[in-house]
Amino acid sequence: MTVTNNVTRFLDARKVKYTAHELPAEKLGALEAAQHIGAPAEQVFKTIVTTREKKKPVLAVISGTCVVDLKLLAAFLGEKKMSLPTEREAEALTGLQAGGISPLALINKGFQVVLDSAAQEYQQIYISGGQRGLDIQLPVEDLIQLTNARVGRISRPILDVER
């Protein structure tokens, strides 16, 4: 049985071709989700909630093999500074559980979406389906169009973090 939720109904209503992948219901990182799906880790994207002064938070959608670079994101958006809220704060800001935060679940909620340019290397990527235990595989261009995402270089590989 395939999971049906607001995200899948939204995609169905817009006739977007997608594949829903069910995962264990506990909170999984993008790398663990990639293993369950059998997809390349670089192609499984995660949504990171970021905040800026006195404006609605920004959803940074980046590859599971990367971390959001707050300086790159701030420069891209023309902001002085971007911050990472705690997991609890991110859940309060979005109304979604960490591990299930999705730009598709937050359409028309006033969140700006920035998709890392690495996504354009693929025809399709995997993102959260708006709840823990569900990932959606869909065309990158559809994601950009549906979420009105801006595309830019906003991340760096996880391995670069220690340097």
Cα(71)–Cα(75) distance, integer angstroms: 6
Which pLDDT belongs to residue 160? 52
Q: In the CATH hierarchy, which fold is given to the domain comprising 19-158?
A: YbaK protein (3.90.960)
Contacts of 130 (CB under 8 A, 6+ apart): 5, 6, 7, 96, 100, 102, 104, 105
Per-residue pLDDT tens over the stretch 111-140: 999 999 999 999 999 999 999 999 999 999
Per-residue pLDDT tens over the stretch 23-40: 888 888 888 888 999 999
Cα(28)–Cα(93) distance, integer angstroms: 20
Cα-based distances in Å from 113 to 19, 35, 37, 40, 107: 21, 26, 24, 23, 9
Average of per-residue pLDDT across 50-70: 94
